[in-house]
């Protein structure tokens, strides 16, 4: 080593041993922490890094009467993300996939209004399977040529309308449910997500996956760790978990199961077990977005004298003013249950229900949603997704406008950011 090099080493040693070096290190640590805090707290609509994703039903502009809802009614000051749900699976023609022109035009009008109202809100589109297309995802995902064509169609759609990403709503891959797909779906799903991820990454767009919480699907149709490595978020199907065909009166999004639920698949189909299974199978909690349904689910009781949770039913409840039988948006049910309904609360499922004659309806209110928000905080989940934002009381029929969405937004604001641990580290 030369003498000048030795002098440089001595000077460096003296500097890093001095009080000045300690002050410089502390200054840079503080700058780093401030930058991280600004990023986390300023990036998502004031929600400290949590997401409040709002599904917008593509059918809502066609709802009759006071139920009609357009992009102008969305509370963009509350939603960090708006997800247009959705467009039908594209049609395969001559080696390419084509989306329905009428649906695309409707999406274009929606996006024009959203962008005119807010430059900050993120926007997504959901690609759905509807009825006759139940095997569309299975067929496409299994064939590499079709996967490439599907990704190409998605990317063109996102670029055309300035969308921030796509939600893949392949609800029932595999053969574990009677309306599912084919046996190779478990692996094909990963191939599809890999290809979509590769296409989106180069364009700085996000990938969402609509994930079920049914035990059989989680265990045998998903490779959870791989899914969560590929997607930005999993939007959880933690609502509408009790179909009318069960012929049992039950709250539609119970936190836990009750003693009368003994069937193996149903016994662990609830919010707590569903989320914890995703985590236990290898999904980071910050990638899980809890679904909350802003609607009531109604049943017709077999015997009006037997109305506790678990009572026998004979089918869906009566049809309301706005939607098909058995379902009521919150803006309708909040008025309805004030007119002669008796109100009850399921202490284990932790949701309210109302009874009038042979009609039985479960729904969410601020009490039950508060329980779910505590769970989001406890598990350090990535946020909440609303099914649908257009079901909230957007007219203010029962008080203030959008009361449930506002409650969730305010509660998310109160949850400490996950960066808190780093702030504590900086104090040491």
Q: Where are the alpha helices (DSSP H) in 242-394?
A: 271-280, 330-336, 366-379
Quote the pLDDT of residue 6: 45
The answer to whether the beta carbons of residues 390 and 57 sit under 8 Å apart is yes
Label residue 175 exposed, middle or buried (CB < 10 Å: 0-12, 13-18, 19+): middle
Whether pLDDT at 420 is above 80: no
Nearest Cα to Cα of residue 213 among 237, 177, 245, 242: 237
The answer to whether the beta carbons of residues 272 and 261 sit under 8 Å apart is no
Q: Please name the residues in contact with 426: beta carbons below 8 A apart, sequence gap of 6 or more.
A: 29, 30, 33
49-293+364-415 is classed CATH 3.20.20.80: yes
Residue matched to tokens 């609800």: 171
Euclidean distance between CA atoms 306 and 275, whole angstroms: 32
Quote the pLDDT of residue 174: 85
Q: Give the DSSP per-residue string, 26-95.
A: HHHHHHHHHHHHHHHHHSSTTSTT-EEEEEEETTGGG--GGG---GGGS-TTT-SEEEEEEEEPPEEETT
- Whether the bond between 298 and the residue before it is cis, its omega within 30 degrees of 0, is no
Segment 83-106 shows an average pLDDT of 96
User: For residue range 380-408, what is the model confidence (pLDDT) as tens digits?
Assistant: 999 999 999 999 999 999 999 999 999 99
Q: Residue 14 — pLDDT band, cuts 50, 70, 90?
A: low
For 358-426, give the secondary structure using H, E and C: CEEEECCCHHHHHHHHHHHHHHCCCEEEEECHHHCCCCCCCCCCCHHHHHHHHHHHHCCCCCHHHHHHH
Quote the pLDDT of residue 418: 72
Quote the pLDDT of residue 57: 97
Q: Number of C-alpha atoms within 13 angstroms, CB side, residue 254? A: 24
Quote the pLDDT of residue 176: 65
Quote the pLDDT of residue 343: 98
SS3 state at 291: strand
Quote the pLDDT of residue 414: 96
Q: Residue 137 — pLDDT band, cuts 50, 70, 90?
A: very high
User: For residue range 340-384, what is the model confidence (pLDDT) as tens digits?
Assistant: 999 999 999 999 999 999 999 999 999 999 999 999 999 999 999
Quote the pLDDT of residue 179: 65
Euclidean distance between CA atoms 384 and 376, whole angstroms: 8
Segment 258-278 shows an average pLDDT of 89
Q: Residue 274 — pLDDT band, cuts 50, 70, 90?
A: very high
Max CA distance (Å), the chain = 98
The first and second tokens of residue 171, run together, are: 């609800």
Segment 59-63 shows an average pLDDT of 95
Whether pLDDT at 36 is above 50: no
Whether pLDDT at 26 is above 70: no
Tell me the average pLDDT of the chain.
88
Residue matched to tokens 């009825």: 131
Quote the pLDDT of residue 417: 80
Quote the pLDDT of residue 19: 56
Strand 327-329 to strand 295-301: parallel, antiparallel, or no bridges (unpaired)?
antiparallel
């Amino acid at each position: 080593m030369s003498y000048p090099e030795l002098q440089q080493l001595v000077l460096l040693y003296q500097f890093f041993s001095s009080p000045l070096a300690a002050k410089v290190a502390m200054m840079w640590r503080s700058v780093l922490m401030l930058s991280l805090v600004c990023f986390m707290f300023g990036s998502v609509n004031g929600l400290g890094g949590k997401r409040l994703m709002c599904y917008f039903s593509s059918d809502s502009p066609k709802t009759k009467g006071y139920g009609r809802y357009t992009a102008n009614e969305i509370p963009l000051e509350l939603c960090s993300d708006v997800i247009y749900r959705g467009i039908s699976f594209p049609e395969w023609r001559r080696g390419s996939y084509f989306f329905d022109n009428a649906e695309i035009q409707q999406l274009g009008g929606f996006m024009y209004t959203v962008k005119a109202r807010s430059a900050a809100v993120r926007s997504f589109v959901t690609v759905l399977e509807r009825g006759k297309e139940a095997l569309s995802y299975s067929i496409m995902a299994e064939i590499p040529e079709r996967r490439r064509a599907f990704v190409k169609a998605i990317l063109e759609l996102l670029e055309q309308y300035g969308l921030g990403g796509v939600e893949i709503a392949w609800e029932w891959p595999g053969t574990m449910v009677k309306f599912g797909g084919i046996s190779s779906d478990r692996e094909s799903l990963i191939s599809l997500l890999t290809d979509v991820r590769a296409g989106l990454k180069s364009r700085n767009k996000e990938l969402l996956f609509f994930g079920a919480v049914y035990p059989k699907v989680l265990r045998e149709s998903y490779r959870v760790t791989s899914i969560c490595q590929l997607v930005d978020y999993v939007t959880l199907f933690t609502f509408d978990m009790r179909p009318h065909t069960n012929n049992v009166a039950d709250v539609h999004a119970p936190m836990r199961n009750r003693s009368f639920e003994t069937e193996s698949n149903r016994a662990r189909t609830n919010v707590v077990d569903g989320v914890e299974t995703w985590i236990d199978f290898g999904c980071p909690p910050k990638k899980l977005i809890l679904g909350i349904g802003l609607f009531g689910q109604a049943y017709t009781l077999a015997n009006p004298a037997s109305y506790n949770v678990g009572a026998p039913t004979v089918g869906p409840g009566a049809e309301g003013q706005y939607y098909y039988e058995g379902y009521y948006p919150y803006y309708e049910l909040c008025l309805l249950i004030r007119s002669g309904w008796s109100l009850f609360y399921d202490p284990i499922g932790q949701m309210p229900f109302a009874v009038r004659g042979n009609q039985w309806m479960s729904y969410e209110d601020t009490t039950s949603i508060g329980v779910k928000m505590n769970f989001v905080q406890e598990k350090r989940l990535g946020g909440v997704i609303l099914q649908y934002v257009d079901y909230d009381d957007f007219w203010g029929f029962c008080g203030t406008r959008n009361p449930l969405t506002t409650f969730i937004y305010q509660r998310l604001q109160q949850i400490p950011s996950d960066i808190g641990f780093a702030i504590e580290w900086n104090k040491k």
